[in-house]
Amino acid sequence: MLGVATFACGGDRDRDADTLTLWTSNNPPEITTADWAVQRFRESGGKAEAQPVPEGQSSEEVILAAVVGGTTPDIYANMWQGSVALYAEAHVLVALDTLDGFLPWLTARCTPETIAEVTAPDGHIYQVPWKVNPIRMSYRVDAFPEGAPRTYDEYLAAAKRLQADQSGDGYVDTYVGYTSPRTIWYERLFNFYPLYLAATAGAPLVADGKAAFDRPEAVAVFAFLRKLYADNYFTRDRLDAQGDPFLSRKIASKWTGPWDISYLERYAPADLKYDFAAMLVPNRNTDSLPPYTYADPKNIVIFNTCPNAQEAWDFLANGMLSLEGDLQLLTRSNQLPRRADLLTNPAFSDYFRQNPRMVPFAEQARRIAGVTHEPLIIEVLDVISQEYEACVLFGMKTPEAAIHDAAEAVNVILRADNPT
């Protein structure tokens, strides 16, 4: 029985060693794009197959199980940038900069900032910067007659005006916005973190093995968010299981990504006029570019179980990561390839002409950041989340104390992991 179980578990290893395997997310447009790349590779004489990441509670758990079990695919296309450091430290990823053609391809495609962001402290690069979904603010046009708010003060002024109880039932009719109050770490990537990046022009949370966020801009972000809850402009209730509060006009804005465009086009009532704007900042700037925001980057990695990493890279470079592959990704899934020439390359012109709402997101893609290459980034975000709850949601700490305590706690964690 044990023998049968062992054999069954190891079945994936019995596949044809010459055939590259690619796991994608289970998002249908991405599966189609991967299938297109596989077909193209086969036509050139290569052997490859693609499949969506196997079902599990989350794709992260499935990948982790595959790493532990030694059943990883050759290529995984959809890894959150924050997970890469953990796997790189465990030596289960191929250093892509050791492969022929990778560095020229990278420098031709990406900005120096992007390259710096994906470079590990050991100098190697373990991930291909593939796609981004910049976080911006969607808002109801009728709720902001003076145009999209750009600063904290403008947003708070609108919040005060919107916070009325016309129906007289004792409940706020319209909240100015909503963001998940859950304390789980990743929720901070969609409220605190993009605001922090906007306020600091893309500063990292961790630098040189220490917390780098104990600074006035982070305090200002906490103070702003804290006021939203203290004055009941945001609700501490979870609205995610009560239908879409934006469509039902319970809220006037939210922080979201470009995936919301096709969703709203499909489900928004005809009389609900909406638009998108940049993340809020403490003070108006005169810069022509939007303030920074979180990129929500998903990247591609090659696992070291791959018997021919060079062939895997060639497969990617000539397929999914080629100009045509990027266009396939963009047109099929409305996700932005992470390349510097997105708005200048004529290959994408038709797409942006036909999808004008995507243009601001593409412009935003010039001012985005992922997360620091840090194996303990989840714990860093978790610590911030704990202080966020105490300060922002419940007002039990001052913003200064909360940010300072979070930085101290993060430093303890980072020191414990790397005592030298």
Partner 1 sequence: MRRLLPDRLLPYAMVSPYLIYLSVFIAFPVAFSIWLTFHKWNIIGEPVAVGFDNYVRLVQDRLFWLSIFNTLKFLLLHIPLQIAVALGLAVLLDKPIRGRAFFRGAYFLPVIVSGVVVTILWQQLLATDGGVINRLLTGIGLGRVGWLVDPDVAMYAIAVMATWKNVGLYVILFLAGLQSVPEHYYEAARLEGANAWQQFRFVTLPAINPTFFAVVVLSTIGGFSLFIEPYVLTGGGPLNSTLSAVLYIYKQAFQYYHMGYAATLGLAFSMLILGVVAIQQRFIESDDDA
- Residue ranges binding partner 1 (CB under 8 A): 1-2, 61, 64, 67-68, 86-87, 89-90, 92, 169-172, 181-185, 235-238, 241-242, 378-379, 382, 386, 389-390, 393-394, 396
Least Å from the CB of residue 90 to partner 1: 4
299 forms bridges with which residues in the sheet?
79
Closer of 40 and 250 to partner 1 (Cβ): 250
Distances (CA, A) of 196 to 95, 214, 279: 31, 11, 10
Cβ distance 175 to 233 under 8 Å? yes
Q: Quick check: helix, strand or coil at residue 262?
A: helix
Least Å from the CB of residue 297 to partner 1: 20
Closer of 327 and 378 to partner 1 (Cβ): 378
Distances (CA, A) of 142 to 145, 146, 174, 275, 301: 6, 9, 12, 10, 44
Closer of 157 and 390 to partner 1 (Cβ): 390
Least Å from the CB of residue 137 to partner 1: 22
**Strand 368-369 versus strand 274-277 pairing type:** unpaired
| Whole-number Å distance between alpha carbons of 345 and 371 | 27
Least Å from the CB of residue 413 to partner 1: 10
Closer of 17 and 68 to partner 1 (Cβ): 68
Query: Looking up tokens 């990504």, which residue turns up?
Result: 257
Least Å from the CB of residue 236 to partner 1: 4
- The residue among 76, 50, 48 whose CA lies nearest residue 62 is 76
**Structure letter (DSSP) for residue 140:** E
Least Å from the CB of residue 175 to partner 1: 9
The values of phi and psi at residue 380, to 5°, are -60, -45
Closer of 12 and 89 to partner 1 (Cβ): 89
Query: Looking up tokens 């890279």, which residue turns up?
Result: 313
Cβ distance 316 to 300 under 8 Å? yes
